[in-house]
Chains A and B, each alone.
Chain A
Amino acid sequence: DGGITQSPKYLFRKEGQNVTLSCEQNLNHDAMYWYRQDPGQGLRLIYYSQIVNDFQKGDIAEGYSVSREKKESFPLTVTSAQKNPTAFYLCASSATGTGNYGYTFGSGTRLTVV
C-alpha cells in the first residue's frame, strides 16, 4: 500500500544534541512538508520541498534543517539551535500541478528533550 512513513515514533534528545527525523513516501508525490504541532497552536510549517534538491523555509524554520536528495525522502534535523524542540512533528506529501487534492500525512514523531 502506498503511504508515508515517519520514524521513530518517539524520540528523546539531550540538550545540545542534533537529531534527525525520518520521512519516507512511496506515493510518487513531488511535494513534501514538515509541520510542528503544539497544543492549542495547530500546525506550523517548518520547511517544504516541491522538487528534488530544492526546499523553502516555512514559518518557523529557525533551528531546523532539511535535505531532499531523493524524491521519496525528506529528513528533518532538529539542531541544538532550536530552543524549544519538544513537540509532535508531522510530515506530509502531496501531488503538484493543477488542482490541489490535499496532503497525505505520516503518523508523526513525538520529540522530547530530556
Chain B
Amino acid sequence: AQSVTQLDSQVPVFEEAPVELRCNYSSSVSVYLFWYVQYPNQGLQLLLKYLSGSTLVESINGFEAEFNKSQTSFHLRKPSVHISDTAEYFCAVSDPGGGNKLTFGTGTQLKVEL
C-alpha cells in the first residue's frame, strides 16, 4: 500500500521569501506524483505532476518540485512567494499499474504574511 507524509501542517512565511513544502511517500513500485492547491472553500487544482523523464517539474506560477527516488521525496519549492500563494497544498501519489486512485497527504497550510 502507498502512503504520503506531509511533514508540516502549517508553514508561515513572509512575502518574497523562499518556501519549501515537504512530501515523502512510501511505495514498493514506481509512482506518479502530484501537487494540488486548494483555496478556501474551493476544490483542488492540479499544480504540477511527475510522471516520468526529468525529475524537476515546474508549474506556470513559479512553483517547482523535484522527484528524488533515493529519498522517496517530492518537495515543493518556490523562490519568492506572494500573498496570493496562501492556500493549502496537498501531495498525492498513484501507482501507474494500479488504476487511477490517488493517495493524498494530510495537507500543508501555507500562510504568506506581509
* Residues of chain A at the chain B interface (Cβ within 8 Å): 6, 31, 33, 35, 40-43, 45, 48, 50, 88, 90, 92, 94-96, 99-108, 110
Contacts and interface: CB of A to CB of B under 8 A. Distances in A.
B45 interface: yes
Interface size bucket, B side? 20 to 34
Interface of B: 9, 32, 34, 36, 41-46, 49, 51, 90, 92, 94, 96, 99-102, 104-107
Contacts of A40: 9, 106-107
Contact of A43 (B49, B51, B104): B104
B41 A105 contact: no
Contacts of B43: 6, 90, 92, 105-108
A45 B100 CA distance: 13
Nearest to A59: B103
Contacts of B106: 40-42
